[in-house]
Amino acid sequence: MSVCFSTFTGCQPSGFDHSEQETAGEERAETSRPPSLTLDDFLTESGRLDLAKLQEYNPECYAWLDIPDTEMSFPLMQPAEDLSWYLSHDFFGNADEDGCIYTEYYNGKDFGDPNTVIYGRNADGRFGGLHQYQDRDFFDSHSEILVYTGDAVLEYRVFAAYPFDDRHLLMNWDFWNPDVFSVYLSGILSQRKMDVFLNPDAEVSEEDRIVTLSTGVDGEPQKRYLVQAVLVLQEDVSE
C-alpha cells in the first residue's frame, strides 16, 4: 500500500487549480491566514465543523481528523487532480516537505466507503505520531478516532495497528465486494506477530466501514505502518 505515491494516470476529475494556489500561497499567508489551525477554531457551539470557514483558506479541505489526547489533529484534504500535491504542500498551498493529511480521490468524501484510506508523512506534526501505537499501553489507551464533517461527527474505534508492505490498498482489494472485504479483515485479525496489536473489544466485519491511517516506516521505504479503526457511532450535528 503506497503512502500516496500513486502514479495512476487514468481519468482524473477536474477541480482546484494547484498552480494558482501555490502562486497565491504567500499572499494568503500574509493576509488571510487564521491565527491558528486548530480544531477548536473551526467548531461551532453545537460541535459542528464550520467547513465553509475552513474552505475559505483551502476549498479542498472536507473534514477534520482528531485523535483525542494526542497531538494528532488535522484538517483533512483531498486533491482533485495531483495525487502527490499534499505530500509536499501545506494547508495553505506553500511548499512543505511534511505535506498534509489527506485521502485520494478513489475514496468519496462522505466516509461511506468500506475502507477510507488516509495518508500522511512519517514526520513530527503529521502522521509520525502513529508510531506511538507500537507501544501496547498507548494502543490500549488511544482507541478513539474522531472525524468531523460539515454535518456529522463520526466516532471510530481502533481495532488494529501493524506494519505492512507498500501495496496500494484501494488498487489491490475491491472493498465494495463483501467477500473480498471479509477475507481482507480475516487476514488482519488472524495475524500473530509481536509487532501486530489487535483490539479484542472492537468488533469488525465486512458490513462495517473502516478508516485506515497510513504512514511510512523509518529506513524501510517498502513498508508502511497502518492504524485501522471501525465506525461505531455517527452523530448528525446541526446548528
Q: How far apart are CA 74 and CA 76, in angstroms?
A: 6
pLDDT digits (tens, 9 = 90+) for 146-158: 999 999 999 999 9
SS in 3 state form for the chain?
CCCCCCCCCCCCCCCCCHHHHHHHHHHHHHHCCCCCCCHHHHECCCCCECHHHHHCCCCCEEEEEECCCCCCEEEEECCCCCCCHHHCECCCCCECCCCCEECCCCCCCCCCCCEEEEECCCCCCCHHHHHHHHCHHHHHHCCEEEEECCCEEEEEEEEEEEEEECCCHHHHCCCCCHHHHHHHHHHHHCCCCCCCEECCCCCCCCCCCEEEEEEECCCCCCEEEEEEEEEEEEEECCC
Q: Give me the mean pLDDT over the 156-175 stretch.
A: 98
**Selection from 87, 73, 72 nearest residue 128 by Cα:** 72
Among the ranges given (10-19, 105-114, 192-201), the one the predictor scored with the smallest mean pLDDT: 10-19
**Confidence class for position 12, pLDDT limits 50, 70, 90:** very low
Percentage, residues of the chain above pLDDT 90: 80
**Confidence class for position 238, pLDDT limits 50, 70, 90:** confident
**Selection from 119, 116, 142, 139 nearest residue 211 by Cα:** 116
Please report the domains of the chain, with CATH numbers, ordered by start residue: 18-236 (2.40.260.10)
What lies within 8 Å, CB to CB, of 30 at 6+ separation is none
Q: Mean pLDDT in the chain?
A: 89
- Indicate yes or no: pTM above 0.85: yes
What's the grid cell of residue 117? 484510506
pLDDT digits (tens, 9 = 90+) for 204-237: 999 999 999 999 999 999 999 999 999 999 999 8
pLDDT of 191 strictly over 70: yes
Among the ranges given (4-18, 49-63, 111-125, 215-229), the one the predictor scored with the smallest mean pLDDT: 4-18
Please say whether the dihedral angle defined by the alpha carbons of residues 48, 104, 102 and 230, taken in this order, is positive or negative: positive
pLDDT of 4 strictly over 50: no
Q: Give me the mean pLDDT over the 132-143 stretch.
A: 98
Q: Give me the mean pLDDT over the 196-202 stretch.
A: 97
* Residues making up the chain, counted from first to last: 239
pLDDT of 28 strictly over 60: no
